[in-house]
């Protein structure tokens, strides 16, 4: 099974041995820590042809195990948000208007398992399961078909609709330990330099997906540039906005890739101001061990004209900007607005103290 989630594995083994496996689970935790991989390996363990399901120790070699990993097993249904979509379309659950309940997850999971074991459905990106899709799924949640298992994957309970959350058993996944992230980077071939792998793991927040990004020198260079500008009493808005936009545009041709990159940029800013709040608060302690971030925050704290509460307003600006990314805002305009709001906040504080 997946490294770093031993307690979750033990929980499922105990449940299976007691024959008390629920029909619906909600996996929650930060992105990139292995929730989807765990769901697929859980499916392998339940459908493995050579080993008992209560062991949750798939052989990885039988036809069922290889089909699950290849995405071709007839008893495993997986859906996710389209790259350019803002939510999980209702058609993924009940088909389009001409084929209602003839195709889609709700139809497919109701069929008898080909393997005579279980039907397993995995809903990735459950954070984007909005009201229409949740309503389509409601009957399946309330009356799960025999021998069915539904796994929803999201980042937090709070982002799920009450109708879904109340009908699911929540499984919380913790960020991966840094040593495991570094080990995975090296063993998966994502990084060949042990020192770089350790640095990337330290910046990842326990997310392998983020750690892979931090193995990229361009990411590290941009991050240092952003912190350097945010740490200035006044920064020149147009050049910095252009730097941000160019970095976002370099993510790829697809809009989804650019939005994901913009989220990373905004998250860097969010982390910066969260650390500034901690640095300015006598009752809080800085949580980052990253020297570059600590240095930039210390520089800012020396000239910052307000208190921790004022710095928290910049945290709110970053959170607002992240919400706009999910709402498909124009990324160039968003970058300019975000940086301008941050700059005006600091300048406004300084003006108010004169």
Q: What is the pLDDT of residue 289?
A: 65
- What are the tens digits of pLDDT across the range 77-120? 999 998 877 789 999 999 999 999 899 999 999 999 999 999 99
3-class SS letters over the chain: CCCCCHHHHHHHHHHHHCCCCCCEEEEECCCCCCHHHHHHHHHHHHHCCCCCHHHCCCCCCCHHHHHHHHCCCCCEEEECCCCCCCCCCCHHHHCCHHHCCCCCHHHHCCCCCCCCCCEEEEECCHHHCCHHHHHHHHHHHHCCCCCEEEEEEECCHHHCCHHHHCCCEEEECCCCCHHHHHHHHHHCCCCCCHHHHHHHHHHCCCCHHHHHHHCCHHHHHHHHHHHHHHCCCCCCHHHHHHHHHHHHHCCCCCHHHHHHHHHHHHHHHHHHHHHHHHHHCCCCCCCCCCHHHHHHHHHHHHHCCCCHHHHHHHHHHHHHHHHHHHCCCCHHHHHHHHHHHHHHHHHHHHHHCC
198-234: burial string, b at 16+ Cβ within 10 Å, e else: bbbbbbbbbbbebbbbbbeeebbebbeebbebbbeee
Q: Which two tokens stand for residue 79?
A: 């859906």
Q: What is the pLDDT of residue 281?
A: 86
Distance of alpha carbon 182 from alpha carbon 206, whole angstroms: 10
Q: What is the pLDDT of residue 84?
A: 75
Distance of alpha carbon 214 from alpha carbon 217, whole angstroms: 7
How many residues does the structure list for the chain? 354
Q: What is the pLDDT of residue 353?
A: 47
% of the chain beyond a pLDDT of 90: 79
* Burial class (CB within 10 angstroms; exposed 0-12, middle 13-18, buried 19+) of 294: middle
- What are the tens digits of pLDDT across the range 44-62? 999 999 999 999 999 999 9
CATH class given for the domain over 6-172: alpha beta
Average pLDDT over every residue of 123-133: 93
Q: What is the pLDDT of residue 65?
A: 96
- What are the tens digits of pLDDT across the range 135-157? 999 999 999 999 999 999 999 99
> Which pLDDT band holds residue 227 (cuts at 50, 70, 90)?
very high
CB atoms within 10 A of CB 292: 14
Rg of the chain, C-alpha, whole Å: 23
Rounded to a whole number, what is the distance in angstroms from the first to the last CA of the chain? Answer: 60
> Which pLDDT band holds residue 286 (cuts at 50, 70, 90)?
low
Q: What is the pLDDT of residue 145?
A: 96
On the question of pLDDT at 129 being above 90, the answer is yes
Average pLDDT over every residue of 15-19: 95
Treating both helix axes as pointing N-terminal to C-terminal, what angle do 35-47 and 63-70 enclose, rounded to 10 degrees?
A: 150
Q: What is the pLDDT of residue 354?
A: 36
Q: What is the pLDDT of residue 351?
A: 52
Q: What is the pLDDT of residue 288?
A: 62
Distance of alpha carbon 279 from alpha carbon 79, whole angstroms: 43
Average pLDDT over every residue of 58-67: 96
Nearest residue to 115 (alpha-carbon basis) of 79, 74, 149, 156 = 74
Distance of alpha carbon 68 from alpha carbon 77, whole angstroms: 10
CB 65 within 8 A of CB 58: yes
Tell how far CA 134 is from the center of its chain. Answer: 20
Average pLDDT value for the chain: 91
> Which pLDDT band holds residue 4 (cuts at 50, 70, 90)?
confident
CB 311 within 8 A of CB 276: yes
- What are the tens digits of pLDDT across the range 296-351? 999 999 999 888 888 999 999 999 999 999 788 999 999 999 999 999 888 776 55
On the question of pLDDT at 132 being above 50, the answer is yes
Average pLDDT over every residue of 246-262: 92
CB 111 within 8 A of CB 102: no
Q: What is the pLDDT of residue 328?
A: 82
């Amino acid at each position: 099974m997946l490294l770093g989630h031993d307690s979750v594995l033990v929980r499922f083994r105990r449940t299976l041995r007691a024959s008390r496996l629920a029909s619906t689970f909600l996996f929650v935790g930060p992105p990139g820590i292995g929730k989807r991989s765990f769901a697929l390996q859980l499916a392998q363990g339940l459908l493995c042809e050579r080993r008992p399901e209560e062991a949750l120790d798939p052989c990885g070699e039988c036809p069922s195990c290889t089909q699950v990993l290849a995405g071709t097993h007839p008893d495993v249904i997986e859906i996710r948000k389209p790259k350019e979509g803002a939510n999980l379309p209702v058609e993924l659950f009940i088909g389009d208007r001409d084929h209602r309940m003839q195709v889609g997850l709700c139809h497919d999971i109701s069929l008898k398992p080909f393997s005579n074991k279980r039907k397993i459905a995995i809903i990735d990106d459950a954070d984007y399961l909005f009201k229409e899709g949740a309503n389509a799924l409601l009957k399946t949640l309330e009356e799960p078909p025999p021998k069915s298992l539904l796994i929803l994957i999201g980042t937090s309970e709070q982002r799920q609709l009450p109708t879904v959350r109340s009908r699911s058993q929540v499984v919380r996944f913790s960020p991966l330990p840094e040593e495991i992230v570094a080990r995975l980077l090296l063993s998966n071939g994502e990084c060949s330099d042990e020192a770089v792998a350790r640095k990337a793991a330290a910046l990842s927040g326990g997310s392998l997906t983020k750690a892979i990004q931090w193995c990229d020198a361009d990411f590290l260079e941009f991050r240092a540039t952003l912190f350097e500008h945010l740490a200035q009493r006044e920064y020149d808005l147009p050049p910095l906005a252009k730097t941000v936009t160019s970095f976002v545009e370099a993510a790829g041709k697809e809009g989804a890739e650019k939005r994901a990159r913009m989220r990373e940029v905004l998250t860097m800013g969010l982390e910066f101001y969260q650390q500034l709040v901690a640095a300015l608060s006598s009752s809080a302690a800085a949580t980052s061990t990253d020297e570059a971030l600590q240095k930039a925050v210390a520089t800012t704290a020396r000239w910052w004209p307000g208190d921790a509460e004022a710095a928290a307003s910049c945290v709110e600006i970053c959170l607002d900007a992240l919400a706009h990314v999910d709402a498909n805002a124009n990324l160039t305009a968003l970058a300019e607005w975000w940086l301008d709001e941050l700059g005006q906040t600091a300048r406004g504080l300084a003006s108010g103290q004169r």
